[in-house]
């Protein structure tokens, strides 16, 4: 690197590139040289996957299923000519000898997620289950599980979209600038954030802060449903269009969805839910705060009643 950076202007450019990488979610180096995963995608060698049972095999294409089962120590190649050389051939020499210790994440079914989540009787056991759960692809790129902050049981549960960079580092939801605004919004209706239960529709940061996909939301949903049952709130507030659309299962936008009470069935009773604008949006669009304020007042009234 020192050979290639010759003056302070280049150093600034280099810093910009690094900041851009970080914003895009590229925050770890994997190997010496960059690899264009888009170009490689068609030929990535999957023969190193260790299958535990036939169900996991069924996740692969028929051609891949014909590839004999392999273990980490035992590379067996199917006669497909377009495959890229095995990953070990592309690593630096000192990396050849390192045994591959991390198994790939294979997506368990939503039914499996439901069974695991239902068996959890406390938030602590739900957290342990999430720490062990390898079914959400977001876990691969995230640093930490982001479960909840605030009270274990609370009259108000707040559900946002997804952890961002700050949340990923700290392992708690809404700890960055949007979280600070959220705390002030709650305070405006006399709720300390530690009295509410604050979480997201997914438990890991999507790379580059993109919105979570439907699949990522769906695999987290059984855990979120169980979390709602355990918290047993009177009222749930969804923050932003992504959370509201996913939770109400509607394509409608947040401007139509916000500020209206909707009941959803709970374990013990029907829960009153409402959506409002996301605090990150409010930071960019302060004029919209008056709409959020109207929604917050509805919540205050509901909680008083």
The residues binding ligand URA (CB under 6 A) are 160-164, 167, 173-174, 176, 178-179, 200, 280
Dihedral sign (CA 169, 172, 174, 177): negative
Judged by CB, which is closer to ligand URA: 49, or 162?
162
Q: How far is the CB of 177 from ligand URA (least distance, A)?
A: 9
Judged by CB, which is closer to ligand URA: 167, or 272?
167
Contacts of residue 125, defined as CB under 8 A and 6 or more positions apart, other chains included, come to 119
**What per-residue string of b and e applies to 144-156 under the rule 16 or more CB within 10 Å gives b?**
bbbbbbbbeebbb
Judged by CB, which is closer to ligand URA: 182, or 219?
182
Q: How far is the CB of 161 from ligand URA (least distance, A)?
A: 4
Q: How far is the CB of 68 from ligand URA (least distance, A)?
A: 44
CA distance 25 to 191: 33
Judged by CB, which is closer to ligand URA: 161, or 183?
161
Contacts of residue 63, defined as CB under 8 A and 6 or more positions apart, other chains included, come to 78, 80
- Helices and strands (H and E) in the chain: how many: 15, 6
Judged by CB, which is closer to ligand URA: 47, or 209?
209
Rounded alpha-carbon distances, angstroms, from residue 109 to 135, 222, 277: 8, 11, 32
Q: How far is the CB of 170 from ligand URA (least distance, A)?
A: 10
Q: How many residues does the chain have?
A: 305
Q: How far is the CB of 238 from ligand URA (least distance, A)?
A: 10
> For tokens 């992504």, what's the residue?
242
List % helix, strand, coil for the chain (3-state, nearest 5): 45, 10, 45
Q: How far is the CB of 185 from ligand URA (least distance, A)?
A: 13
Residue with the CB atom nearest ligand URA in the bound state: 160
Judged by CB, which is closer to ligand URA: 24, or 35?
24
Rounded alpha-carbon distances, angstroms, from residue 265 to 136, 196, 199, 229: 25, 20, 19, 10
Q: How far is the CB of 200 from ligand URA (least distance, A)?
A: 5
Q: How far is the CB of 277 from ligand URA (least distance, A)?
A: 12
The strand order across the sheet containing 271-276 reads: 149-150, 197-200, 156-160, 235-239, 271-276, 262-264
Asked if 159 contacts 239 with a C-beta cutoff of 8 angstroms, the reply is yes
Judged by CB, which is closer to ligand URA: 77, or 184?
184
Judged by CB, which is closer to ligand URA: 271, or 280?
280
Exposed, middle or buried: residue 231 (CB in 10 Å: 0-12, 13-18, 19+)? buried
> For tokens 């409002």, what's the residue?
276
């Amino acid at each position: 690197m020192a050979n290639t950076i010759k003056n302070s202007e280049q150093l600034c450019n280099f810093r910009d590139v690094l900041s851009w990488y970080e914003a895009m979610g590229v925050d770890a180096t994997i190997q010496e040289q960059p690899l264009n995963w888009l170009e490689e995608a068609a030929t990535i060698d999957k023969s190193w996957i260790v299958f535990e049972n036939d169900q996991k095999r069924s996740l692969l294409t028929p051609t891949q299923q014909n590839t004999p089962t392999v273990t980490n120590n035992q590379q067996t190649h199917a006669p497909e000519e377009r495959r890229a050389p095995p990953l070990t051939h592309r690593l630096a020499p000192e990396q050849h000898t390192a045994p591959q210790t991390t198994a790939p994440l294979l997506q368990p079914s939503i039914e499996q997620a439901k069974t695991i989540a239902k068996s959890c009787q406390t938030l602590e056991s739900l957290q342990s289950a999430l720490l062990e759960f390898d079914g959400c692809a977001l876990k691969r790129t995230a640093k930490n599980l982001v479960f909840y902050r605030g009270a274990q049981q609370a009259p108000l549960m707040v559900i946002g979209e997804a952890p961002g960079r700050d949340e990923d580092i700290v392992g708690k939801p809404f700890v960055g600038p949007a979280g600070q605004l959220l705390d002030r919004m709650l305070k405006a209706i006399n709720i300390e954030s530690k009295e509410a239960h604050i979480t997201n529709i997914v438990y890991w940061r999507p790379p580059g802060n993109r919105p979570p996909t439907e699949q990522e939301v769906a695999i987290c949903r059984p855990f979120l449903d169980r979390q709602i049952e355990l918290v047993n709130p009177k009222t749930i507030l969804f923050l932003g269009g992504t959370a509201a659309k996913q939770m109400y299962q509607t394509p409608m936008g947040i401007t139509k969805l916000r500020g209206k009470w909707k009941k959803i069935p709970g374990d013990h009773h029907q829960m009153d839910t409402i959506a409002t604008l996301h605090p990150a949006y409010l930071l960019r669009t302060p004029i919209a705060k008056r709409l959020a304020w109207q929604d917050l007042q509805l919540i205050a009234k509901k909680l008083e009643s």
